[in-house]
Amino acid sequence: MRDLRAAVEARSAGLLSDIEELVSVESPTADLAAVRECAEAVAGLGTRLTGRSPERLDAGGRPHLRWRFGSGDRVLLLGHFDTVWPVGSLRTRPFAIEDGRLTGPGCFDMKAGLAQLFHALSVLDDLDGVTVLVTSDEETGSRTSRSLIEDEARRTSAALVLEASEEGALKTARKGVSTYDLRITGRAAHAGLEPHRGVNATNELAHQILAISALGDPEAGTSVTPTVASAGTTRNTVPASAELLVDVRAATTAEQDRVDSAIRALPPALNGARLELSGGPDRPPLQESSSARLFARARRLYGELGFGSLSGVAVGGGSDGNLTAGAGAPTLDGLGAVGGGAHADHEHVIVAELPRRTALVAALVRELTKEPV
């Protein structure tokens, strides 16, 4: 086991250089030109470190990359190279390493994780059974890559997700995510001359916000959060329309289904108002039962590498790990960078942890290709 640790540590300078290369190619999800440029950077990195060129998969006009080694059915390594940072962010947040911290847009979420992924593979002698899938639209819900991810999950024995860790802990559970768009139709009228002839969509919106909020169950870990709301046109017009966006997080599929049924059954509160609901469950939960055996292996291997103890945590945010778990693959998430500040000005990676997590991924891949879950 110490051979992997020594091999990874010997490549530490190269790992930092490769993270800088990826961070320096900005890739906001919506900017297809930038995303395509970053896809080529990722393809070049992966080719150089594994000796194999990727398949370039186009889905919905977006570039995704897949490496398959031999059967490719023992372990799936999953990541994404799109970020939330617009082109030009490097001018105010340039790549830098200072006081043991690496910074730059997208470094934590999740370009460091991608570099770790390929460096982990580079120290292994045999990659038979490994598939790598790197996508370009995770930050906006994996709309075009979802079927690719689920198809790979169905053919693999285990999925390892190189998303960033949660304060050093691996992500052993993630809540399921549902999203809804509620459109309300009322009837316009002059607010001064004949307000009684109108059906006030803003008032209906208020009723719906309260009813929807009441569907949450904190004890079950279920949050139902009205987020963006809009209504009306002018100050002196009874509003004829309104719209509400809703975010739901649930720890179990049963809770996700309960909220879905309940929100669809809500009636209008005002006579004459009409409701139109779209959306529904988007990402299924990644439950601890899916990650338990993989996490036990990771803890053992981390200790055998000489790094001490390793913790796990359940989080509310979703990732493509939700999709692999939902498709039936045992899934362990949060194997990427240790740091913090995803999507925020203080986004950073702890440099000293990079070789540790890289060695852990290498150890997991080596064992899983020989002894599947």
Q: Tell me, what CATH number does 22's domain have?
A: 3.40.630.10
* 3-state secondary structure at position 104: coil
Q: Domain boundary at 252, 268, 283, which?
A: 283
Burial readout 53-72 (b: 16 or more C-beta within 10 A, e: otherwise): ebeebebeebbbbbbbbeeb
The CATH number of residue 264's host domain is 3.30.70.360
Tens digit of pLDDT for each residue in 311-341?
A: 999 999 899 999 999 999 999 999 999 999 9
Same domain for 164 and 213? no
Determine how β-strand 75-80 pairs with β-strand 96-98: unpaired
Cα separation of 343 and 84, whole Å? Answer: 6
> Quick one: 199 and 291 in the same domain?
no
Phi-psi region of 80 (alpha: psi -120 to 50; beta: other; left: phi over 0): beta
272 with 299, same domain: the answer is no
Number of domains in the chain: 2
Q: Report how far apart, in Å, the C-alpha atoms of 179 and of each of 213, 227, 253, 284, 363 are.
A: 14, 10, 14, 12, 37
Measured between alpha carbons, how far is 239 from 301 in angstroms, rounded to an integer?
61
Among residues 96, 209, 160, which one has the least CA distance to residue 319? 160
Query: Which secondary structure element, helix H or strand E, spans residue 168, and what is its range?
Result: none
Global pTM value: 0.92
Residues 11 and 142 in one domain: yes
Whether residues 274 and 302 fall in one domain: no
Could you give the CA distance from residue 287 to residue 4 in angstroms, rounded to a whole number? 30
Q: What element of type H or E holds 253?
A: helix 253-265
pLDDT grade for 243, boundaries at 50, 70 and 90: very high
Q: What is the pLDDT of residue 1?
A: 78
Of 283, 306, 323, the one marking the end of a domain is 283
β-strand partners of 102: 97, 349
Same domain, 223 and 300: no
- Is there a single domain that holds both residue 17 and residue 104? yes
From 230, 247, 137, select the one nearest 184 (Cα to Cα): 230
Same domain, 263 and 116: no
What's the pLDDT tens digit per position in 105-164? 999 999 999 999 999 999 999 999 999 999 999 999 999 999 999 999 999 999 999 999
- The residues, any chain, with a CB within 8 Å of residue 188's CB and separated by 6 or more, are 198, 233, 237, 238, 239, 240
Q: From the CB of residue 276, how many other CB atoms can be counted at a distance below 10 Å?
A: 10
Question: Domain check: are 63 and 168 in the same one?
Answer: yes
Q: How far apart are CA 325 and CA 332, in angstroms?
A: 9
Q: What is the domain extent for residue 69? A: 2-174+285-370
Q: Is 139 in the same domain as 278? A: no
- Residues 72-105 have pLDDT tens digits of 999 999 999 999 999 999 999 999 999 999 999 9
Identify whether residues 161 and 305 lie together within a single domain. Answer: yes
Q: Is pLDDT at 2 greater than 80 in this prediction?
A: no
35 and 122 co-located in one domain: yes
- Please, what is the average pLDDT of the chain? 97
User: Which of 225, 260, 283 is the last residue in one of the domains?
Assistant: 283
**Within the chain, what is the greatest distance between any pair of CA atoms?**
83
Question: Residue 117, Cα to own-chain centre: how many angstroms?
Answer: 16
Structure tokens of 81? 């190279």
**pLDDT 10s digits, 256-308:** 999 999 999 999 999 999 999 999 999 999 999 999 999 999 999 999 999 99
